[in-house]
Structure 1
Amino acid sequence: MRARRLTPEAYAPYGRIVAAAGGAKDANMGTARRWDRLAPLVNKRARAKANLCVFRCKPFKGKAFPVKLLERHAKSTQVFLPLAGAGRCLVIVAKGGAKPDLSTLAAFVMEGALGVSYHPGTWHHPMVALGKASDLACLVYEDGSKADCEVVALKAPAVVNLG
């Protein structure tokens, strides 16, 4: 599989792209512009609380990335936003129910000021930084239980071509 450019249309089955684009309004007495409701934030568990955290992703420098596992947050959206200085990241996603549907496996390159949101239940690989370490802010609803994140090992690795 080849990693492709991240576009709203191609990514829509898996979540939303988070970007300062489209309709904005003036805010803070005209000193800023504000974009609202960029992605739905879903929490389907009463005891789960919002967790705003930062991931420091180690760089992958190869031309072919082996996908050995996928994970999902069945009851929560998960949002990743690049922090200043973040490089390109590989976003690997699949639809599915209790198990991922590997026929829907897709890979995208997230770069610049773009972020992503995963719909609840979207299978995905942990974020992969390409070329250099990158810090990403993350928002997910968690309660500390095993239901926060389900992980499935793939029987055979899928390969994402980056070259």
Structure 2
Amino acid sequence: MDMIFTSLDDCYSMYVTYAKACGFSVRKGTEKINDKGEKHIKYYMCMRAGVGSWKVYKFVEEHNHDLFERPDKHFLPTERHITQLQKHVIHNMSTLNLGPVKVFNVMKTCFGGFEDMGASKFEFKNYKRYAMVFVPFTGIDNHHCNVTFGAALLVSETTDTYIWLLRVFLKVVGS
């Protein structure tokens, strides 16, 4: 196999496509930088083994582990993601005090099963956990440089939440 790619992204896309077709998942490995400071080798690997780079010098089709069967393909990390519709439902159901696991179970019932969801309970939990708004408090010092006074993570972007945050900030900095 003597394939040459015009970009690193093209090489990665081809390997991910191949991996999905064969039933395994890909992870990014280390990279090598030459004396000129240029990246000249990048390793892409099967989640358990394998090596690739921009130019594929060697390809070993045999694996030392069983590949995923087609019905189990949805368990691969590259196949799990939350859609915009699911994000919308998670957000709306959280206003009803339903946690991400309950939302997952409801949606699993609606979609017909885990294999049709495209995401697991962990993706739902992580989305809910990190779906926060970052609010920095910045100003300019006497040298005309930006200075961060503080920051907050907000679960919701409501007027009441921002009013609460501003009051707490003023209390902390001593208005």
- Tell me the TM-score range normalised by the shorter chain: under 0.3
> Which protein has the bigger helix share?
2
> Which protein has the bigger strand share?
1
| TM-score, length-scaled by structure 1 | 0.22
Q: Which has the higher contact order (CA 8 A, sep 6+)?
A: 1
